[in-house]
């Protein structure tokens, strides 16, 4: 492990006579280095996720244009039929309630 000598601060011993000494410390900063390593590991996980997601998208069997149009028309048709059915049921139950319960 390499220790790096940093000049952390220059302190004024006496503010009036401007006598100052440099304050040196050997700073290993293990916690900071460990934190940086954790961040780098997390970033590599993020990049790995995007690489894998891109690989999965490339393997997807996408529908053709004709299939997409057919499925879209099918979904719209079924949605309209369900909406009509629910509208008829709502009207019928509303008529029954108003006829028998709200006399």
pLDDT at 101: 87
Task: Give residue for tokens 């590599």.
Answer: 44
User: How high does pLDDT run on average in the chain?
Assistant: 77
Q: Domain of 93?
A: 63-103
- Residue 57, domain member (yes or no): no
- Residue 46, domain member (yes or no): no
Cross-strand partners of 59: none
* pLDDT, tens digit, 9 for 90 and up, residues 13-59: 444 445 555 555 455 566 667 777 777 777 888 889 999 999 999 99
Helix (H) or strand (E) holding 38: helix 30-59
Determine contact, residues 43/35, Cβ cutoff 8 Å.
no
- Residue 19, domain member (yes or no): no
Give the largest Cα separation in the chain, rounded. Answer: 103
Task: Give residue for tokens 């280095």.
Answer: 33
- Residue 27, domain member (yes or no): no
Number of domains in the chain: 1
């Amino acid at each position: 492990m390499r220790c790096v000598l940093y000049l952390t601060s220059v302190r004024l011993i006496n503010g009036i006579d401007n006598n100052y000494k440099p304050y040196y410390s050997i700073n290993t900063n293990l916690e900071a280095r460990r934190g940086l390593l954790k961040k780098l590991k997390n970033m590599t996980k993020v990049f790995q996720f995007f690489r894998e997601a891109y690989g999965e998208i490339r393997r997807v069997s996408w529908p053709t244009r004709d299939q997409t149009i057919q499925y879209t028309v099918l979904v719209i048709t079924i949605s309209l039929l369900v909406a009509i059915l629910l509208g008829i049921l709502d009207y019928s139950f509303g008529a029954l309630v108003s006829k028998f319960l709200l006399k």
